[in-house]
Amino acid sequence: MSEYTTGALAKLSGVSVRTLQYYDQKSLLSPSSRTENGRRIYNDADLKRLKLILLLKKLGLTLDAIKEILASDNSVNILNLMLVEQEKVLKLQLADSKEQLKTIESIKRDLPDLAAVPIKSIDDINDIMKNKKSLRKVHITMIAWGIPIDIIEIGTLIYAIKSGNWMPFIIGMIVAFIGAGWISKYYFNNTNYICPNCNTEFKPKFWTAFWAGHNPRARKLTCPNCGKKDYCVEVFDSKN
């Protein structure tokens, strides 16, 4: 069995010599033996007990409570119950931390797209997040309707080429044209734009927005408030 001086035990456990001396005074951790000149000598059992004391301290117990638990005949059962409960707490904290991380990642991902929006409070951030979710639903709806339209176009075209009968393709193109028009109208009815220069939110005329240069997050429009033409950020029209 290994033996440790006070300094060696303190170094192994990451505590100060004064802490070990204090635990000795509290009768929490007494040395297994002493040298002729009175130096404290600890062994492996003392090291394990010290590690247990430090663990219980991390769980929030006072030294008096730790002393009572270690002196109890049911110390093992008590410790097991405490560790089980602490495990539950840590798992809940971990789940909460993961949820917070998801929220942070979502905010970090979405905020650059709304750089033109002034943020003054947590309510502003919540509004932005809700706006992004609503706008995402608009995009998903457009995709859901756009895929069948593409299938109609491609399917009727392939049929016409193979069969030589172009009537289904013509009918398909009419249906696709009507569908595309509805999707475009739906999109512009549910979106507004924010000017990056004066932060004004506005809804442009349909054909103005339709023919404007754009990227997935913005369109090049003229702001009705400041008159400047720039890439205005797409946002959900909360009035709809």
pLDDT tens-digit readout, 135-149: 788 888 888 888 888
Range of lowest pLDDT (67-71, 80-84, 120-124, 172-176):
120-124
* pLDDT at residue 125 in the model: 47
Range of lowest pLDDT (9-13, 86-90, 93-97):
86-90
Average pLDDT of the residues of the chain? 81
Overall average pLDDT of the 215-235 stretch:
86
Nearest 5 degrees, angle CA 179-CA 182-CA 188?
Answer: 140
Please name every residue paired with 5 in a beta bridge, in sequence order, or none if there are none.
41
Q: Which carries the bigger pLDDT value, residue 224 or residue 110?
A: 224
Using DSSP's 3-state secondary structure scheme, residue 221 falls into strand
Is the pTM of the predicted complex or chain greater than 0.85? no
pLDDT confidence tier of residue 224, bands split at 50, 70 and 90: very high
* pLDDT at residue 95 in the model: 85
- 87, pLDDT greater than 70: yes
Which residue type does 7 have?
Answer: G
- Using CB atoms within 10 A of its CB, is residue 114 exposed (0-12), middle (13-18) or buried (19+)? buried
Name the token pair of 205.
Answer: 């005329």
The alpha-carbon radius of gyration of the chain (Å, integer) is 35
Backbone angles phi, psi at 106, to 5 degrees: -65, -45
- 187, pLDDT greater than 80: yes
Estimate to the nearest angstrom the gap between the alpha carbon of 9 and the chain centroid.
Answer: 42
Q: How far, in Å, CA of 18 to CA of 14, rounded?
A: 12
Share of the chain above pLDDT 70, in %: 87
Estimate to the nearest angstrom the gap between the alpha carbon of 145 and the chain centroid.
Answer: 30
Q: Contact 190/234 with Cβ under 8 angstroms?
A: no
Burial 58-69 (b: 16+ CB within 10 A, else e): eeebeeeebbeb
Name the token pair of 227.
Answer: 């008159």
* pLDDT at residue 1 in the model: 65
Q: How far, in Å, CA of 132 to CA of 236, rounded?
A: 7
